């Protein structure tokens, strides 16, 4: 396991601070107006106004901090929360040392909005959209970069995954010896290919359920061979690297022989691997493992995920999944019967819902599903072919008021509601979580 030898840069005030301060002030005013008029939290408009008035705000705000960037198709919000909690615990942060955008505002505007709230914080833990990674590496020179996975998501937005991979690979190559220590998913062939150009890599074996997006070798185009424990390309040298970290019986285990109990308050095997990635990143940043683990144990419902609340008189547990890989990991977590599935297809969800046919809904046979949301009928067609009993109630609030739910939940056993991004945000608002 190669450890970072680069000395973190000392934080300093951003250049051109007068222009930036004026832009930040205008952004804060716009955010306040947004909140007062009930239009939203103001986080997005704050970043938009700031960057409109100072186009160099992103570059200036990421400069001269210790940065850990977290990206990937699935799990980046939760992992960012875990890493932030780990670093704050290790640094004994009093609220001035660490800034983060851990609630999902991960494009340029969102990052500017978060960093502008704490321009002097020396450490930033940044959830980073896949399309922002190259800029984050080029302009922010992160100390650590966590690469979780690559999977189809919002097919009309990101298109071919390899194109994004090429951007990441080129950014890491251009960074050279100033590049980040990469905490990378050894189980994802595209991530492994990207990291061939990285300065140094710590590999985490995640053992995912979903491998349908890693059929072809990103290096030569050959058909990859997936065995029970690893993968390789029979036509070129690309293969799964030896892991530095992995999960074993609820422990994060390192190749050096360290074993750390993962005492988490968020469910799912995939969150054990997310926590292991966060732990590996925290260790690379100089955080003691015990402090990091104590911090991560405080994470309960990152940005509303896994939160329990009451909506329309029904106690519910909220789960978010946005693509086939996410649904493959999340569906086994659902236990309620009936189960509520909410689907939409606006820009934030991705307008192409053909991915519904890649999800194994057959595992829900024997349970009743309430299909809700603007694209509930698309889901109903898929469930019909899966031979899963279901009803359609397109209005989200009406679905949660349905008599079908009466008598099927109590304080210890809420109704599981699994949804795509836009219905999830509405559920958060209805449940008083946003």
Same domain, 278 and 323: no
Mean pLDDT to the nearest integer, 298-303: 94
pLDDT digits (tens, 9 = 90+) for 350-361: 888 899 999 999
Strands 225-226 and 200-205: unpaired
Confirm or deny that 220 is annotated as ligand binding: yes
The residue from 302, 333, 349 where one domain ends is 302
> Is 38 a member of any domain?
no
* Domain assignment present for 320: yes
Q: Is 371 annotated among the ligand-binding residues? A: no
The whole-number pLDDT of residue 4 equals 44
Do 168 and 279 sit in the same domain of this protein? yes
pLDDT value for 16: 58
217 is in an annotated binding site: yes
Give pLDDT, residue 10. 41
Q: Tell me the average pLDDT across 141-166.
A: 80
Residue 244 in domain: yes
The SS3 assignment for 227 reads: coil
CA distance 386 to 379: 10
Residue 11: predicted pLDDT: 44
Neighbour-count burial of 60, counting CB atoms closer than 10 A to its CB (0-12 exposed, 13-18 middle, 19+ buried):
buried
Helices vs strands, H then E, count in the chain: 15, 17
Which DSSP symbol is given to 414? P
Q: Could you tell me if 417 and 319 are in contact, meaning their C-beta atoms sit under 8 angstroms apart? A: yes
pLDDT of residue 152: 72
Burial of 109 from C-beta contacts in 10 A (0-12 / 13-18 / 19+): buried
SS (H, E, C) 161-215: HHHHHHHHHHHHHHHHHHCCEEEEECCCHHHHHHHHHCCEEEEEECCCCCCCCCC
Give 63's pLDDT tier (boundaries 50, 70, 90): confident
What is the pTM for the complete model shown?
0.92
What average pLDDT does the segment 17-37 reach?
Answer: 91
> Mean pLDDT across the chain, nearest whole number?
91
101-115, 240-254, 261-275, 362-376, range with the lowest pLDDT: 101-115
The three-class DSSP label of residue 133 is: helix
Identify the domain containing residue 267 by its residue range. 56-302
Choosing from 156, 263, 352, 395, which is the catalytic residue?
352
> End of a domain among 267, 302, 337?
302
Same domain? For 378 and 265 the reply is: no
In a domain, 336, yes or no: yes
CATH number for the domain harbouring residue 190: 3.40.1190.10
Residue that is last in its domain, among 280, 302, 324: 302
Same domain, 69 and 194: yes
Q: What is the mean pLDDT of residues 326-353?
A: 91
pLDDT of residue 6: 44
* Pair 133, 265 in one domain: yes
Shared domain check, 247 and 213: yes
CATH number at residue 329: 3.90.190
Q: Is the pLDDT of residue 302 over 90?
A: yes
134 & 103 share domain? yes
Q: Residue 158's pLDDT is what?
A: 56
15-29, 183-197, 199-213, 314-328: least confidently modelled range: 15-29
- Give a yes or no: residue 50 inside a domain: no
Q: Is residue 23 part of a domain?
A: no
Q: Any catalytic annotation for residue 235? A: no
In a domain, 24, yes or no: no
* Residues 212 and 354 reside in one and the same domain: no
d(Cα 236, Cα 213) in Å, to the nearest integer?
A: 19
76 and 216 share a domain?
Answer: yes
**Confidence band, pLDDT 50/70/90 cuts, at residue 41:** confident
Residues 64 and 204 in one domain: yes
Judge whether 334 lies within some domain. Answer: yes
Residues 148 and 295 in one domain: yes
237-249 tens-digit pLDDT:
999 999 999 999 9
Q: Structural domain tally of the chain?
A: 2
Same domain, 340 and 405: yes
> What's the pLDDT at 7?
43
């Amino acid at each position: 396991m190669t450890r970072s030898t680069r000395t973190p840069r000392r934080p300093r005030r951003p250049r051109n601070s007068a222009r930036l301060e004026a832009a930040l002030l205008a952004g804060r005013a716009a955010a306040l107006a947004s909140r007062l008029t009930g239009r939203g939290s103001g986080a997005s408009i704050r970043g938009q106004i700031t960057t409109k008035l100072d186009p160099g705000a992103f570059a200036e705000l990421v400069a001269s901090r210790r940065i850990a960037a977290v990206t990937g198709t699935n799990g980046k919000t939760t992992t960012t929360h875990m890493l932030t909690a780990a670093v704050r615990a290790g640094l004994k942060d009093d609220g001035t040392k660490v800034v983060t955008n851990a609630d999902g505002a991960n494009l340029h505007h969102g990052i500017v909005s978060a960093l502008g709230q704490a321009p002097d914080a020396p450490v930033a833990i940044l959830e980073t959209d896949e399309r922002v990674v190259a800029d984050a590496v080029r302009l922010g020179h992160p100390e650590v970069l966590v690469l979780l996975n690559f999977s189809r998501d919002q097919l009309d937005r990101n298109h071919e995954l390899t194109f994004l991979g090429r951007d990441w690979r080129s950014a890491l190559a251009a960074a050279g010896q100033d590049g980040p220590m990469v905490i990378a998913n050894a189980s994802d062939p595209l991530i492994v290919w990207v990291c061939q150009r990285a300065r140094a890599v710590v590999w985490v074996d995640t053992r995912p359920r979903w491998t349908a997006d890693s059929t072809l070798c990103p290096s030569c185009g050959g058909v990859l061979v997936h065995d029970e424990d690893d993968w390789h390309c029979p036509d070129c040298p690309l293969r799964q690297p030896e892991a530095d970290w992995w999960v074993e019986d609820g422990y994060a285990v390192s190749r050096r022989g360290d074993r750390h109990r993962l005492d988490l308050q968020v469910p799912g095997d995939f969150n054990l691997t997310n926590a292991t990635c966060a732990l590996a990143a925290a260790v690379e940043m100089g955080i003691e493992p015990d402090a990091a683990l104590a911090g991560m144990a405080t994470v309960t419902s990152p940005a509303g995920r896994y939160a329990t609340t009451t909506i329309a008189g029904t106690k519910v547990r909220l789960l978010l999944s946005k693509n086939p890989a996410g649904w493959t990991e999340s569906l086994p977590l659902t236990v309620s019967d009936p189960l509520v599935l909410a689907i939409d297809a606006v820009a934030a969800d991705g307008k192409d819902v053909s991915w519904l046919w890649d999800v194994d809904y057959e595992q829900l046979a024997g349970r009743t599903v309430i299909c809700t949301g603007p694209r509930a009928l698309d889901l109903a067609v898929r469930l019909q072919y899966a031979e899963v009993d279901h009803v359609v109630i397109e209005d989200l609030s009406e679905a949660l008021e349905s008599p079908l739910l009466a008598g099927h939940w109590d304080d210890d056993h809420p109704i599981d509601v699994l949804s795509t991004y836009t219905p999830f945000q509405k559920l958060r608002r209805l449940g008083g979580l946003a």
